[in-house]
C-alpha cells in the first residue's frame, strides 16, 4: 500500500492494518518510510511491549495497573496537553489469542454530544512538569475532522462536579461497547491508529504468552 493510500485510509477509518509489511526490515526503518516518528520525552523512539505480570511491570504503566489482564479502552498519553497524533503497533512475535481492541471515538461523541464533552474538564492524576494542567475531553484542533478526543480511566480525573458526572457516563458507555479486534500475529503486521480519534485496548493475555513482542512508536505525520 502506498503512503498516500495509508494516509487516506487513516482519515476514513481511523486506523490502517498492514499485513506482513516488510517483516525483514527494522521497525524504525519501516515507520520512517511511512511517516515521521515522534520523539516523545522520556520514551524510546521504539518501545518493546511484552506481557508482564503485576509484580514484573514498571509502576505507573498499564501493565503495572492490569498485569496480563485486559487493558481498558483509552487514548495514549491522554494526560498530556498534546497527545501524540498517531500510534504504531508492529508485530515482532505474535499470538493468535491476544487482540488489540479498537473503538471509534466518533461514536462516543455522537452518544454524549460535542458540547458536553468539550465542557468536561479533566486533569492528570499526578502533577505534570508544568503543574496540574486543566484539559478537556474533547478539543477543537486543525485536522482530525477538527476534533481531538482524549480518554483514560486511569491517568486523568474530572476536575469539577459537573465533569465528574460526564466522566462517569463515559466510563459506563465505554465499558459496554463492543470494540473490533485486530490480531497482530505475523512478523511485520503493523497497525497504525489515529490517537486523536480512536480508543484502543488489549485483550487479556494468557499466562504463557510472555514471548509476545510488539514494537510501539508514536508518529506525528503519516506522509
pTM: 0.93
Query: Which strands form 71-74's sheet, in the order they lie side by side?
Result: 71-74, 198-202, 100-104, 180-182
Evaluate whether residue 153 is within a structural domain: yes
The domain in which residue 41 lies consists of 3-218
187 with 91: CB under 8 angstroms? yes
Number of domains composing the chain: 1
Evaluate whether residue 207 is within a structural domain: yes
CATH number where 100 lies: 3.60.130.10
> How many CB atoms within 10 Å of residue 14?
22
Evaluate whether residue 59 is within a structural domain: yes
Residue 129 pLDDT grade (very low, low, confident, very high; cuts 50, 70, 90): low
Evaluate whether residue 76 is within a structural domain: yes
Q: What was the pLDDT predicted at 58?
A: 80
Q: What was the pLDDT predicted at 169?
A: 98
pLDDT in tens, 138-187: 999 986 679 999 999 999 999 999 999 999 999 999 999 999 999 999 99
93 with 211: CB under 8 angstroms? yes
Surface-to-core class of residue 4, CB atoms within 10 Å of its CB (0-12 exposed, 13-18 middle, 19+ buried) = exposed
Evaluate whether residue 223 is within a structural domain: no
Evaluate whether residue 169 is within a structural domain: yes
pLDDT in tens, 11-51: 999 999 999 999 999 999 999 999 999 989 889 999 999 98
Taking 70 as the threshold, does the pLDDT of residue 131 lie above it? no
Contacts of 143 (CB under 8 A, 6+ apart): none
CA atoms of 140 and 152, how far apart (whole Å): 19
Amino acid at each position: 500500500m502506498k503512503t498516500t493510500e495509508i494516509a487516506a485510509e487513516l482519515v476514513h477509518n481511523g486506523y490502517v492494518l498492514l499485513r506482513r509489511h516488510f517483516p525483514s526490515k527494522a521497525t524504525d526503518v519501516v515507520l520512517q518510510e511511512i511517516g515521521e516518528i515522534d520523539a516523545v520525552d522520556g520514551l524510546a523512539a521504539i518501545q518493546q511491549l511484552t506481557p508482564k505480570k503485576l509484580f514484573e511491570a514498571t509502576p505507573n504503566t498499564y501493565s503495572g495497573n492490569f498485569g496480563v489482564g485486559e487493558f481498558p479502552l483509552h487514548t495514549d498519553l491522554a494526560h498530556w496537553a498534546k497527545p501524540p497524533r498517531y500510534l504504531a503497533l508492529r508485530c515482532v512475535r505474535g499470538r493468535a489469542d491476544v487482540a488489540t481492541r479498537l473503538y471509534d471515538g466518533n461514536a462516543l461523541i455522537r452518544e454524549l454530544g460535542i458540547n458536553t464533552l468539550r465542557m468536561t474538564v479533566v486533569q492528570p492524576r499526578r502533577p505534570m512538569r508544568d503543574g496540574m494542567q486543566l484539559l478537556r475531553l474533547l478539543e477543537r484542533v486543525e485536522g482530525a475532522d477538527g476534533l481531538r478526543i482524549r480518554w483514560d480511566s486511569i491517568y486523568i480525573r474530572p476536575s469539577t462536579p459537573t465533569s465528574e458526572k460526564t466522566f462517569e457516563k463515559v466510563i459506563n458507555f465505554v465499558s459496554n461497547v463492543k470494540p473490533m479486534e485486530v490480531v497482530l500475529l505475523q512478523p511485520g503486521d503493523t497497525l497504525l491508529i489515529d490517537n486523536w480519534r480512536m480508543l484502543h485496548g488489549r485483550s487479556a493475555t494468557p499466562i504463557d504468552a510472555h514471548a509476545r513482542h510488539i514494537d510501539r512508536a508514536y508518529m506525528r505525520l503519516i506522509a
